[in-house]
Amino acid sequence: MTEIPSPSNSSVPAPLWRRLLPPLLAAALVAVLGVALLSPSRNATDGGPLVGKPAPQFTLTSLDGTKVSLASLKGRPVVLNFWASWCGPCREEAPLFRELSTRQGGGQGLAVVGILFQETKEQNARDFIREYALAYPSLRDPGIQTGINYGVQGIPETFFIDQSGVVQHVDRGGLTRERLNAGLAKIGVAGL
């Protein structure tokens, strides 16, 4: 048996980093796509551009005719709820707001305020308020001026504003007790 010298492989093996580069690039791409797909940024129920910023000012009239402005609530933590009578989740979270409204103090402490969003018939809103015995003002928002100022995308949407008038938490969609408590904790109010 004669040993045939195998023709020497003339190409020198590529350096390690070069061999690892394509699989690493592919892995990085997959990782980025995975993170982008799994991150809940757009579906998140909380957060938003207003968090950490001063709450937009408003002066609106309530359904019973009294003027309410955010400035007049200065020094108090405020829970601001955008709602309408035609909105299903608003109905589901209403008992929580009923419960919460019993907590608000007369001249100080927590203040709960509702703002009507695209309410087509005021009478429906009045019926809603009576049905759930909501003991806090619900304000008319002609021209959705305040809604746009708060960047409301859909209702219900709830803004938790601290004593110094800064938005600390925003929650979209019908609140559960846990989510309401999470917001309340951010503005230093004891949970339900």
Partner 1 sequence: MRRLLPSALGLLLSASLALTPAQETRAQHLGSNLRCPICTGVPITESPNDISREMLREVREQVAAGRSDRDIYAYFAARYGNFVLLDPPKEGAGVLLWGAPLAALAAGGAVLWGFLHRKRSAQEEAAPPTADEPFDPYLAEVQRRTRRAGSGEGGGA
Contact residues: partner 1, CB under 8 A: 2-5, 7, 42, 48-50, 53, 56, 118, 143-145, 147-154
How many CA within 13 A on the CB side of residue 160?
22
- Say if CB 182 and CB 72 are below 8 A apart: no
Residue among 50 and 134 whose Cβ is closer to partner 1: 50
In the structure encoding, which two tokens stand for residue 3, read together?
A: 């040993």
Q: Considering the complex, what minimum distance in angstroms separates the CB of residue 161 from partner 1?
A: 15
Q: Considering the complex, what minimum distance in angstroms separates the CB of residue 188 from partner 1?
A: 25
Cis, bond preceding 156 (omega within 30 deg of 0): yes
Q: In whole angstroms, give the CA distance from residue 102 to residue 110.
A: 10
Q: Please give the sequence-ordered ranges of beta strands (E in DSSP) within 39-85, or none if there are none.
A: 59-61, 67-69, 78-83
Q: Considering the complex, what minimum distance in angstroms separates the CB of residue 73 from partner 1?
A: 21
Residue among 45 and 149 whose Cβ is closer to partner 1: 149
Name the CA dihedral angle for 52, 54, 55, 58, rounded to a multiple of 10 degrees: -170
Q: Considering the complex, what minimum distance in angstroms separates the CB of residue 53 from partner 1?
A: 8
Residue among 154 and 191 whose Cβ is closer to partner 1: 154
How many CA within 13 A on the CB side of residue 171?
22
Strand 67-69 vs strand 157-161: parallel, antiparallel, or unpaired? unpaired
Residue among 137 and 147 whose Cβ is closer to partner 1: 147
Q: Considering the complex, what minimum distance in angstroms separates the CB of residue 64 from partner 1?
A: 24
Residue among 66 and 124 whose Cβ is closer to partner 1: 124
